[in-house]
Structure 1
Amino acid sequence: MSDPVYRTILLFDIEQFGTRDDVEQAFLRRLLYEVVDATMLAAGIDETARLRADRGDSVMELIDVQASVPALLKTLLAEAPALLHNKNRLMAAGTRMRLRIVLSSGYVAIDQNGWVGSDLNHAVRLLNSGTLRDSLKQREDDHVLCVSDGIYQGVVRHGPLGVRPDDFHRITVETKEGPTVAWVHGDPATRAGAAVGKEGSGTPNARGAASGPGHIDLTGASFGGSYVAGDQHGVSGNATVTGDVHLGGEGSADRGEAK
């Protein structure tokens, strides 16, 4: 295994992907790629500074540290929602693509099987949390953005141009390792009544329904470690990873598709 390298970690996940038929899934997947690629382009991130893993309803991007995090964050707050709206506005309400987005950072090691690292696990746990799922369910918007505490403390709270710290609200997510802090963008009124979700437990949403356990569809396993199986073309560069992104470790039973 190579030495860990520091990377910006960006995750996108399509809500309720597993409820769609094969034709709808293929269509939404193409839309997801278009939104992600256009977001990276708008943020000024070159293809050579990105490494991607794909698992159908989810996209994981490892981004070189030379790419500007404030520029990426501003793009996620402005251009990305506009891109998503433009894709969805001609679609029926029941077929829209709605996204959970997590921006984090940390050390990731790469071996012959792919990627591994607790910081990567942490980002996936945020993406997968009942809190973030509930937050998206309670919004009229087509997305919800969550940033890790490290991104908030290092970038958001300093208020770079185009980023308003007061627009972010602290959440606490329960994980197997204990509570972890993150920050969600948006009006807190849209999240009123959302319980802090314990990972995999299901929490009530605004309509009184329970959000199921679910998880990011990068895996059929659990969360002890992360790796990408298949071809790996290095840390930098626009590599396409073939195969599955697994989150292995304690327990390997399939938890089902992300909703």
Structure 2
Amino acid sequence: MTDPVSRTFLLLDIEKFSDRDDVEQAYLRRMLYGLTDRVLECAGIEETMRRRADRGDSVMELIDANASLTSLLRALITEAPAQLRAMNRMASRSAQMRLRVVLATGYVWVDEHEGWVGADLNHACRLLDAQLLRTALAERGTDVALCVSEAVHAGIVRHGHQGIPAEDFHAITVDSKNGPLRAWLLGPVPACAPRQEGNQDHGDTGALPVPGREGGPGTGRTKERNGPAEGAAGAAGRAAPVGQVAGGFIGGDNYGVSAGQVGGDIRFEAPRRTPGEPS
């Protein structure tokens, strides 16, 4: 086995492939291969910079890390849907093709049997097979549902490069046997998707608050959301608001309080009382 190398992973999967007969499946595979070649060519990625793995109803491309990830993402957003529309206009209903697409990056090993091994690649495959991505494609009138990994979003999408609409990508979390995986979906998120609290609290990047700002690490206090914080449990006969702790207060370096959960390095302390004050 070789040493691990950094690569870009492009995965494309045909919707409802197993519902087709053998002739239709063979046709769809040819169309998928041709579309993938044209999209990569549009992105300026030469054949010498890519390796392909056949998965029957899907294809995986292992792309050299020196290839432009920005150009590839731009081609997936514009060229892939255009190519599919043109193909489907000329095809019978049973031969039309819709795709789930995942773009990710990470490290991978290539063994002596040309097998690809790596946790980052496994995560990309989990995203491709996620029910949330399947639902997103099923609910849309378009032919493509595109999902990018957290690393691709952080490195490319959120910077708003030309031709990449950062505001149209939305954070999602998909369940997998390896645990929850965070990613970003282009276009509307299905109604069945769990709410992404990070988007509401810290913007679309899901980042933690900036150190030194109110509610950020090292400030020793949390951000006030429901009015001024009360020192103990609140007024008599009233339950403590969400994010506060009844019968005491929270000290230490708090990362924030949201939806009743506390993150960061914290400690619970009894409230300070003046001498002679009744307990």
TM-score normalised according to structure 2 size: 0.67
- Superposition deviation, residue 95 in structure 1: 3.1
Does the Cα contact within 8 Å between 1:49 and 1:63 map onto a contact in 2?
yes
- Superposition deviation, residue 97 in structure 1: 0.4
Letter in 2 for 1:135: A
- Superposition deviation, residue 192 in structure 1: 4.0
Query: Mapping of 1:76-87 within 5 angstroms?
Result: 76-87=76-87
CA–CA distance in 1 between the matches of 2:192 and 2:21? 30
The residue number in structure 2 matching 1:241 is none
The residue number in structure 2 matching 1:3 is 3
Does the Cα contact within 8 Å between 2:172 and 2:193 map onto a contact in 1?
no
Query: Mapping of 1:1-259 within 5 angstroms?
Result: 1-113=1-113, 114-186=115-187, 188=188, 191-196=189-194
CA–CA distance in 2 between the matches of 1:194 and 1:61? 30
- Superposition deviation, residue 193 in structure 1: 2.1
The residue number in structure 2 matching 1:248 is none
CA–CA distance in 1 between the matches of 2:91 and 2:52? 27
- Structure 2: unaligned runs, 5 residues or longer: 195-279
**Cα shift readout 1:163-189 (whole Å, capped 9, x = no counterpart):** 111010110011222211100101x2x
- Structure with larger Rg: 2
TM-score normalised according to structure 1 size: 0.73
Does the Cα contact within 8 Å between 1:15 and 1:98 map onto a contact in 2?
yes
Letter in 2 for 1:46: E
CA–CA distance in 1 between the matches of 2:110 and 2:33? 23
Does the Cα contact within 8 Å between 1:135 and 1:194 map onto a contact in 2?
no
Matched position secondary structure for 1:78: helix
Matched position secondary structure for 2:175: strand
- Superposition deviation, residue 75 in structure 1: 0.4
Among all aligned residue pairs of Structure 1 and Structure 2, give the percentage whose two residues are the same amino acid.
55
- Superposition deviation, residue 151 in structure 1: 0.1
Aligned length: 193
CA–CA distance in 2 between the matches of 1:104 and 1:144? 14
Matched position secondary structure for 1:30: helix
Does the Cα contact within 8 Å between 1:156 and 1:164 map onto a contact in 2?
yes
